[in-house]
C-alpha cells in the first residue's frame, strides 16, 4: 500500500474504464466534420437529437412516455436544480428534502433564500406518514411549500434507496398538497443488482419534475444534464433555463449524442454497476472488519456512498483533521444537513477508489473513530 492519503471524500466516477482513445477520435471527427455546428451557438433547449436520445436513456431508467419536447438540456443537472428553484420558489417558500441530502442542492436552494425543511426517513427513505404530518404542520404554520426535493435512488450522501412500495404514496401526498416533486436521479442506473425501481416520475408525468445527468454514467466534465418537465410547466422552465446559460454547450451535446449512438453505453453502465458493486462490497467488508463498537452504517444497493453514524455527542468535523493525519479523508456529515450544525455522521465514497485502497482507508479511519468514541 502506498503511503499517500486515501481519499474517501470525493464522489467522482471512475473514468479509467472509459475508452479514452476512441472518445478522443470521436471528438476530433465532430469538430473536423461538424465544427460549424459544434462550435456555434445552439438552441436554448438543446439539440433535438440528444433530447430524443435522452428519452431512450430515461426509458432505461424506467420512464417510458417521455417526449423530447419536454426535455430541457442543462449545464449539468446542478443547473437544472437551480432553474427549478428559480422558477418555482420565492424567498421564504419551503422546499422539503431528505436529511441528509446532496450538499450542492442545499447550496442552490439557499442561494434563493428558500426555507429548506428536512423530512424524516429511515433506511428505506422518506416515511409517507411522517411526510404527511410534516406538510400539515408546516401548512398550519402558514408556510408555502413548493417543492419536495428527493434523491430516491442511492441518496447522496446516505446511499439509501426509497422503498418501491412507498413511492406512489409520496407522490400522491405531494399532489394533494399541491407540492411539485423534484426527483433527482443521477445514480438510478447504477443499482448493483436486480430490477431498477420505477422512478417517481414514471407513473406521474404531471406531478414530478425529473432531473437526469450524464455525470455518473458517462462524463461529469462535459456538464450535460437535463430536466424532464411536466408539459404544462415546460415553457416557463425552458425560458428560465435559456436566460441562465443561453444554450447548453453544443460540442458537448454532439459528443454525448455520438456516445449514445455509436458506443455500447448500456454495456458501459453494466461495467460500472459491477465495478461499483465490487467496491461497495470491499468497503462494507472493511467496515465490518475494522470499525469499533458504536459505529453503524448504511448498506447501499447502488450509487457511490456509504453513510456512517457515530454515537450521539461526537462531532465528525474535527475528526476530519485527525483522519488526514492518519492518512484518510472523508466528508463530515454537517455539510449534508439543512441544519448545518454539528453532526455525528460522515460520508465515505467508494466510487473512485480500488478495493485494496478502500480497505486501507478504513483501516486508517478506524482508530480515529475509536479514539473519539472512547473520549465521548
> Do the Cβ atoms of 128 and 159 come closer than 8 Å?
no
Q: How far is the CB of 284 from a second copy (least distance, A)?
A: 25
* Residue 156 makes contact with a second copy by CB under 8 A: no
Q: How far is the CB of 227 from a second copy (least distance, A)?
A: 14
Distances in Å between the alpha carbon of 140 and those of 90, 135, 145, 170?
A: 19, 8, 11, 20
Q: What are the b/e assignments for 128-166, b being 16+ CB within 10 Å?
A: beebbebbeebeeeeeebbbbbbbbbbbbbbbbbbbeeb
Return all residues near 95 (Cβ < 8 A) that are at least 6 apart. 85, 89, 109, 114, 115, 116, 117, 145, 146, 147, 148, 149, 182
**Selected range binding a second copy among 13-21, 59-67, 118-126, 161-169, rule: CB under 8 A:** 13-21
Coil, strand or helix: which one is 154? coil
Q: How far is the CB of 92 from a second copy (least distance, A)?
A: 12
Q: Could you tell me the three cell numbers for 243?
A: 436566460
What would the x/- binding string for a second copy be over residues 265 to 304, using CB under 8 A?
----------------------------------------
Q: Which residue has the cell 436521479?
A: 185
**Selected range binding a second copy among 103-111, 185-193, 279-287, 295-303, rule: CB under 8 A:** 103-111
- Distance in angstroms (rounded) separating the CA atoms of residues 52 and 54: 5
Total residues interacting with a second copy, rule: CB under 8 A: 55
Question: Whose Cβ is closer to a second copy: residue 202's or residue 219's?
Answer: 219
Q: How far is the CB of 88 from a second copy (least distance, A)?
A: 13
| Binding to a second copy in span 205-264, by CB under 8 A | 215, 219-223, 239-240, 242-252
* Residue 75 makes contact with a second copy by CB under 8 A: yes
Distances in Å between the alpha carbon of 97 and those of 81, 108, 277?
A: 13, 13, 27
Question: Whose Cβ is closer to a second copy: residue 121's or residue 248's?
Answer: 248
Q: How far is the CB of 48 from a second copy (least distance, A)?
A: 16
Question: Whose Cβ is closer to a second copy: residue 164's or residue 220's?
Answer: 220
> Do the Cβ atoms of 71 and 55 come closer than 8 Å?
yes
Q: How far is the CB of 186 from a second copy (least distance, A)?
A: 12
* Residue 38 makes contact with a second copy by CB under 8 A: yes
Taking CB under 8 A as the criterion, the residue among 29, 124, 261, 340 binding a second copy is: 29
* Residue 79 makes contact with a second copy by CB under 8 A: yes
**Strand pairing class (208-213; 180-184):** parallel
Taking CB under 8 A as the criterion, the residue among 3, 16, 140, 193 binding a second copy is: 16
Q: Which residue has the cell 430490477?
A: 195
Taking CB under 8 A as the criterion, the residue among 76, 157, 188, 230 binding a second copy is: 76
> Do the Cβ atoms of 117 and 97 come closer than 8 Å?
yes
Taking CB under 8 A as the criterion, the residue among 18, 60, 163, 266 binding a second copy is: 18
Distances in Å between the alpha carbon of 126 and those of 69, 98, 141, 150, 195?
A: 31, 7, 22, 9, 20
Taking the CA atoms of residue 236, residue 238, residue 242 and residue 244 in that order, the dihedral angle to the nearest 10 degrees is 70
**Binding region for a second copy (CB under 8 A):** 10, 12-13, 15-16, 18, 20-21, 23-25, 27-32, 35-42, 75-76, 78-79, 82, 86, 104, 107-108, 110-111, 215, 219-223, 239-240, 242-252
Amino acid at each position: 500500500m502506498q503511503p499517500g492519503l486515501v481519499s474517501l471524500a470525493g464522489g467522482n466516477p471512475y473514468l479509467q474504464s472509459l475508452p479514452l482513445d476512441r472518445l478522443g477520435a470521436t471528438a476530433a471527427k465532430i469538430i473536423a466534420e461538424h465544427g460549424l455546428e459544434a462550435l456555434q451557438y445552439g438552441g436554448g433547449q438543446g439539440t433535438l437529437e440528444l433530447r430524443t436520445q435522452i428519452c431512450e436513456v430515461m426509458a432505461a431508467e424506467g420512464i417510458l412516455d417521455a417526449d423530447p419536447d419536454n426535455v430541457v438540456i442543462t449545464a449539468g443537472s446542478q443547473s437544472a436544480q437551480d432553474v427549478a428553484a428559480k422558477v418555482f420558489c420565492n424567498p421564504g417558500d419551503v422546499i422539503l428534502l431528505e436529511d441528509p441530502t446532496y450538499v450542492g442542492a442545499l447550496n442552490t436552494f439557499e442561494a434563493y433564500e428558500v426555507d429548506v425543511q428536512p423530512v424524516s426517513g429511515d433506511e428505506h427513505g422518506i416515511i409517507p406518514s411522517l411526510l404527511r404530518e410534516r406538510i400539515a404542520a408546516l401548512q398550519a404554520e402558514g408556510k408555502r411549500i413548493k417543492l419536495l426535493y428527493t434523491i430516491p435512488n442511492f441518496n447522496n450522501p446516505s446511499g439509501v434507496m426509497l422503498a418501491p412500495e412507498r413511492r406512489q404514496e409520496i407522490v400522491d401526498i405531494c399532489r394533494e398538497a399541491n407540492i411539485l416533486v423534484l426527483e433527482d436521479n443521477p445514480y438510478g442506473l447504477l443499482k448493483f443488482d436486480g430490477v431498477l425501481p420505477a422512478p417517481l416520475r414514471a407513473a406521474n408525468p404531471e406531478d414530478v419534475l425529473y432531473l437526469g445527468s450524464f455525470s455518473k454514467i458517462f462524463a461529469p466534465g462535459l456538464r450535460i444534464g437535463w430536466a424532464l418537465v411536466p408539459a404544462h410547466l415546460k415553457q416557463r422552465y425552458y425560458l428560465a433555463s435559456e436566460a441562465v446559460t443561453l444554450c447548453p454547450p453544443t460540442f458537448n451535446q454532439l459528443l454525448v449524442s455520438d456516445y449514445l449512438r455509436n458506443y455500447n453505453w448500456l454495456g458501459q453502465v453494466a461495467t460500472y454497476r459491477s465495478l461499483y458493486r465490487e467496491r461497495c462490497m470491499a468497503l462494507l467488508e472493511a467496515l465490518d472488519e475494522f470499525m469499533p463498537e458504536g459505529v453503524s452504517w448504511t448498506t447501499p444497493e447502488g450509487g457511490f456512498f456509504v453513510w456512517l453514524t457515530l454515537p450521539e455527542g461526537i462531532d465528525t468535523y474535527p475528526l476530519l483533521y485527525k483522519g488526514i493525519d492518519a492518512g484518510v479523508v472523508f466528508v463530515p456529515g454537517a455539510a449534508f444537513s439543512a441544519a448545518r450544525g454539528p453532526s455525528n455522521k460522515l460520508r465515505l465514497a467508494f466510487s473512485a477508489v480500488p478495493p485494496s485502497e478502500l480497505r486501507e482507508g478504513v483501516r486508517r479511519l478506524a482508530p480515529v473513530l475509536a479514539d473519539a468514541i472512547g473520549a465521548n
